[in-house]
Amino acid sequence: MFAAVSTWVYPLWKVAAGVGVALAALMVVYFVLQLIVPRTAAIAWVAAKETLAQPFFYAVLLVAAGGLLVFVYLPYYTFGEDIKFVKDMGLNWIVLWSVVLALFTASRSIADEIDGRTALTVLSKPINRIGFILGKFLGVVGPVALVFIILGALFLCSLSFKVEFEARESGGNDATAQACLDTMVQTLPGLVLALLETIVMSSIAVAISTRLPIVANLLICFSIYVLGHLMPVLVDTSVGENEIVHFVGTFLAAVLPVLDNFNIYGAISNDKIVPWSYVAWAALYSALYSTVAILLALLMFDSRDLG
């Protein structure tokens, strides 16, 4: 029994090291912002602290973490392929709750402050609207990144345990520590892509929050999320003789984010190796689209009368 436990526990020191590196990276980003744009960094810090003080943040974290633990023990009746389902469900589960947290944070931090005239008080100080929007966006992304670090670490640990658990349940030999480690490493690109997808949705939520309240924000972002994942299907459907359908499909493909670029969970579930070069191109796409969304947020916020 000790050998079995040590098998899946052994690779977890690398998860702990990864968590430490990720947390250190967040701190470095904040201190760099503090040196370059201190006022924007101050707004981001306040927005992040307000989010961390909300019970909703810990409710999301608790529900998401509970789901990841439950997925390990659910019977999937897949004849030895339960790990594939755990990978797919876990990645989608983390994205779902991270996006919900991002939408809630953006709406509460921006829309509520505009309606409550708090934003007007902040802008009466030596802070321009560009710094305000950028600070709020970073204040949304920060807690979301923290959630990804926590849930991602828990998810990788659960996968390591699942490899050993399935080996014992199947009556075969115990899984090796290398097999547990390989499963975690192969899943890591999916977590990074999930975070990039959530950052894109966070930028969209920030843009919409400059004009609309939380309910409208949730409805619009949910529609964009669904259409973004259906974009390849919409483009293929638009190819035909109907010019109107073709125009609508082309227009949506040009305006909406192609979130399916981040959805490689099927490949990860089938133990395919996702090259880090693909992750790098996806990161570039996420950065470009988020920049466009923030510029749109600045345009809408700059033309809004806060008085």
How many Å apart are CA 60 and CA 243, to the nearest integer? 44
pTM of the complete model: 0.86
**Helix, strand, coil % over all residues of the chain, rounded to 5:** 85, 0, 15
**DSSP result, 136-170:** HHHHHHHHHHHHHHHHHHHHHHHHHHHHHHHHHHT
pLDDT score of 38: 87
How many Å apart are CA 299 and CA 129, to the nearest integer? 10
Residue 48 carries which side chain, given as an amino acid letter?
A
| Residues of the chain falling short of pLDDT 50 | 1-4
How many domains does one find in the chain?
1
Nearest in space to 30 (alpha carbons), one of 15, 14, 49, 16: 49
CA dihedral 22, 282, 269, 24 (to 10 degrees): 0
How many Å apart are CA 93 and CA 255, to the nearest integer? 26
**108 located within any domain:** yes
**307 located within any domain:** no
In a 3-state reduction of DSSP, which class is residue 71? helix
**φ and ψ at residue 212, rounded to 5 degrees:** -125, 155
pLDDT score of 287: 93
Nearest in space to 109 (alpha carbons), one of 41, 38, 54, 34: 54
pLDDT score of 179: 75
CA distances from 101 to 115, 160, 302 (A): 20, 27, 26
How many Å apart are CA 207 and CA 214, to the nearest integer? 12
First to last CA, the chain: 68
**203 located within any domain:** yes
**78 located within any domain:** yes
Q: Which domain holds residue 164?
A: 2-302
pLDDT score of 4: 46
pLDDT score of 1: 39
